[in-house]
Amino acid sequence: MIEIQSNPLYARGKNPWILLLALIGITLGGVLFIGPVLAYLTVLMLSGVSMNELLNMLSNITAYPEYRTMFLSYQAMSSVGGFIIAPVIFYYTLVGKNVISAFIKFPSNIYTTLLITIIMVLSFMVVNTVFIDWNANIKLPEYFSGFENWAEDLENSMKVLTEYLTEFESTGYLILAIIVIAVIPGIGEELLFRGFLQNILKRIFKNDHAAIWVAAILFSAIHFQFYGFVPRMLLGALFGYLYVWTGNLLVPMMAHFLNNGISILALYVYKKGLTDIDVESTEAMPTMYIIIFSALFAVTLIYFKNYLAKNNSNERLDSSI
C-alpha cells in the first residue's frame, strides 16, 4: 500500500482536481524550467561551447551537423527534466514516497507478456498506418486556413528536425538515439500520462474508459503534430488499456519503448539501404497486410486481456489518492 502524506489536501479521498492542477503546474515547471536548465548545463559541460554560442546554435540547429550528438543530448536532458524529474517531484511531494514499488512490478510471466506485447505493438504499428494516412491527408474547411497553415509549417519544421536527428553517424549515435527517443519517453511519458494523469482522471470521471481516452488525447496534443494526432491518440489509448488491465506500469512502458525503438531501428535499416520500407512514410500499408495484422492485433489483444491481465486496482495510484 502506498504511503500517503498527512497533508489533508492530498490525503485519500480529497479533491482530485487539486492533484490535477498540481500535476499540471509542476510538469509545466519541469518542461519550461527544469528540463531546459538541465539540458543547458549538460550541454555546456560536455561541449565546451559558451552560452551565447549555444543559444545561437539552438536558433538554427540543422546548420550544425557536427553538433548532432550534442543536440540529441540536449533533447534527452530536456525530456528527463520535463517528463521524469518533474512528475517524480509531484509524486514524492504530494502523494507518496515510493514511486517505483507503487507502479512497477515484474510479473512471473514476464517473458510471455513481453512476447505478446511485441507482437501486439508490431501488428498495431501496421494497422495504425491506415489512420496515419487518413490523418496526414485531412483537409480543413477554408475558415480554418490559418490553423491549417500553422499546423503544416510546424509539421514541416518538426520533420526537418527529425531527419536531422536521425542521420545515424555511428553505432554509438544509434544507441544514443534509442535512449533518447525510446527509453526516456517510454519511462517518462508513461509515468506522467498513464501513471499519474490517467489515475487522477479516473477519480474525476469515475470511469476507466473516460480516463484512458482523455489522457490519450492530452498525450497526443503535447506532441503538437496535428497531422499525426489521431494515430498517436490511438497509441496512447492502447497504452492506457494495457495499464488498466494489468495495474502494472511496466507493461505500457515496454510497449511504448518497443513502438519507438522498432521505429528507430526500422528507420536505421532503411537509411542504410537494407530495406525499402520507410517508417516515416504517411502512406497506409497494402490492404492485405492491414487485414492480416488487424486479425493478429485483435487476437493478441484478446489474449492479453483475458489471460495475462490481472486486477491489481488495490495497488494502483487511483486507490491511494
- What pLDDT was estimated at residue 310? 62
Alpha helices in the chain (DSSP H): 16-29, 35-47, 51-58, 68-80, 86-94, 99-103, 110-127, 129-136, 145-165, 171-178, 184-189, 199-205, 208-221, 229-246, 250-271, 287-303
pLDDT mean over 202-218: 95
pLDDT mean over 306-313: 64
- What pLDDT was estimated at residue 306? 87
CB distance 72 to 45 below 8 Å: no
For residue 312, pLDDT over 80 is answered with no
CB distance 46 to 73 below 8 Å: yes
Of the chain, the end-to-end C-alpha distance in Å amounts to: 11
Note the pLDDT tens digit of each residue in 101-138.
667 777 777 888 889 999 999 999 999 999 999 999 98
- Is 306 inside a domain boundary? yes
For residue 235, pLDDT over 90 is answered with yes
Note the pLDDT tens digit of each residue in 256-285.
999 999 999 999 999 888 888 888 888 999
Rounded distance between C-alpha atoms, residue 228 and residue 151, angstroms: 11
- What pLDDT was estimated at residue 6? 37
Residue type, 275: T
For residue 234, pLDDT over 50 is answered with yes
**176 burial type by CB count under 10 A (0-12 exposed, 13-18 middle, 19+ buried):** middle
Q: In this prediction, what percent of the chain has a pLDDT beyond 90?
A: 54
- Is 163 inside a domain boundary? yes
Residues recorded for the chain: 321
The total number of structural domains in the chain stands at: 1
CB distance 61 to 10 below 8 Å: no
For residue 319, pLDDT over 60 is answered with no
Query: What DSSP state is assigned to residue 191?
Result: I
Average pLDDT, the chain: 87
- What pLDDT was estimated at residue 311? 44
- Is 6 inside a domain boundary? no
CB distance 96 to 4 below 8 Å: yes
Least confident of 13-27, 90-104, 135-149: 90-104
Residue-number span of the structural domain to which 129 is assigned: 16-319
Gyration radius (Cα) of the chain, Å: 20
- What pLDDT was estimated at residue 96? 67
Q: In this prediction, what percent of the chain has a pLDDT beyond 70?
A: 90
- What pLDDT was estimated at residue 62? 86
Distances in whole angstroms, Cα of residue 101 to Cα of each of 1, 23, 54, 109: 9, 20, 39, 18
- Is 5 inside a domain boundary? no
C-alpha cell at 117: 506485447
